[in-house]
Amino acid sequence: MTAAGAAVSEFGNSLSLLVLLFWATPISPLLVAAILIAELLPFVLGAPVAGVLVDRLPNRRLLMTALVFQGFAIAAVAPLMGQPAFVVALVFLSGCGRAVAQPCISALVPHIAGEEEATRGYAWLSTGRSLGSMAGVTGGALLAGIFGHPAALLLDGGTFLVYAVMLAFVRSERRPSGAHEARPSALAGIRHVRRDPVLFAAIAGLSFCVGTVVVVNVADPAFVRYVLHGDEFVLGAIQACWLSGILVGNRIAARLRTVPQVAGAIALAAITTGIGVLIPAAFPFIVAAGAGWVVGGVSNGVHNVALNAIVRMRTPEEMRGRAFAAVGSMVIGANLMGTAAAGGLLLVVEPRAVFALGGAGAVLSGLACLVFVRRALKSEKSPAEAGLFSENDLWR
């Protein structure tokens, strides 16, 4: 039920993002970057607050509330598409809801699937999201072309409400426990990631990979429009190739069982992500772009599952909300910086050059991550195993 609901909401989310990016591309690459930044900035600024909420309130109810908030925010964009400033502001508000929803569902999955099957649970969740995204960028793009952009955004708002209703039928709940008479520290998740050498090496490597390769998100619409000479349907088809690769990556990552396997997969997937992006940079044709995006998608699918898995494996249950929020702020903060840089890059270099820079950066990030993860695995134990965290560390 949770994966199916995620598929429904991701259908609408992918549809609206496709519409907004294609709408903004002829206006300015800076507007494209502004929309992406507005979507991501709440993850960075609101991570401490979001983590505390997830570790203090019943997660299923909190997730339903966040989804309803997102739905109303994104639906409000529809009548205001002639006002770019209002569009960016509403995308930011939608991002605030998503900043709470993401760590919330990540912390809730082990309670739905069970601790032993949590990695498979994350794989099913990622699969649901990928299928919904694929439908959004293919069939959703067709709907947008027929009924118009405002109708597509209203449809997106409705999908969040549908997801919230579906969650009402889920019986599992995560009710955070602990010394709630003491105020839980909003920064405990950040301290936890920093003190765990294996977790920090893996997340830092993934963050650098994301920060470099994310420039293609801004360059992608311009690449399709001006290099491949395509329209929104071509853009949707190219993105669907990435999403279909994610499905394969999800199934590969579902088989990961140990910390060394998960951490190593994060590093190797960063390398293959870069290779996938370099393919269309070298061969600017639709078929080559599709093939490269499949490779990148497989790597992305591995990252989606492995990221959640390694945080769960290395974090005490009572502080997972803050840990997931902290990790999300690191990865999405890198995403944010790469997105901002891409807006400026596109003003001075062509989209193919942006792809080449992003792909090369991802390969180098993956190689560095592989080295540091191996060193950390040899020299360090999990803070949970080594007893480095006491109850006071979790709550002060």
Dump pLDDT digits (tens) for 172-195.
888 886 544 444 565 788 888 888
In a domain, 180, yes or no: no
pLDDT tens digit string along 235-281? 777 878 888 898 899 989 989 989 999 999 999 999 999 999 999 99
CA angle 240, 36, 289 (to 5 degrees): 30
Q: Which of 320, 342, 339, 321 is nearest to 331 (CA)?
A: 339
Span 133-153, average pLDDT: 72
Span 42-57, average pLDDT: 86
How many C-beta atoms surround the C-beta of residue 234 within 10 A? 17
Kindly tell me the burial class for residue 345, based on how many C-beta atoms sit within 10 Å of its own C-beta (0-12, 13-18, 19 or more). Answer: buried
How many C-beta atoms surround the C-beta of residue 168 within 10 A? 10
* pLDDT exceeds 90 at position 306: yes
Determine what percent of the chain is predicted with pLDDT higher than 70: 90
pLDDT score for 183: 47
Separation in Å, CA 100 to CA 40, 92, 376, 395: 12, 13, 31, 20
- Contact at 8 Å (CB) between 110 and 312? yes
CATH number at 49 reads 1.20.1250.20
- Per the structure, the complete domain to which residue 48 belongs is given by 2-170+185-382
pLDDT score for 148: 73
Task: Report the C-alpha dihedral over residues 285, 287, 288, 294, rounded to 10 degrees.
Answer: 140
In a domain, 179, yes or no: no
pLDDT score for 269: 95
In a domain, 390, yes or no: no
In a domain, 70, yes or no: yes
* pLDDT exceeds 60 at position 218: yes
Give the SS3 label for residue 178. coil
392 or 383: whose pLDDT is higher?
383
Span 71-86, average pLDDT: 86
Contacts of 389 (CB under 8 A, 6+ apart): 192, 195, 316, 383
In a domain, 354, yes or no: yes
* pLDDT exceeds 80 at position 136: no
348 or 385: whose pLDDT is higher?
348
Q: Which of 8, 38, 6 is nearest to 21 (CA)?
A: 38
Domain count, the chain: 1
Could you please report the per-residue DSSP string of 62-97?
Answer: HHHHHHHHHHHHHHTTGGGTT-HHHHHHHHHHHHHH
In a domain, 387, yes or no: no
- Contact at 8 Å (CB) between 37 and 78? no
- Contact at 8 Å (CB) between 51 and 323? yes
In a domain, 134, yes or no: yes
295 or 220: whose pLDDT is higher?
295
Average pLDDT, rounded, for the chain: 83
* pLDDT exceeds 50 at position 394: no
In a domain, 394, yes or no: no
pTM of the model: 0.74
Residue 186 DSSP class:
T
pLDDT score for 169: 85
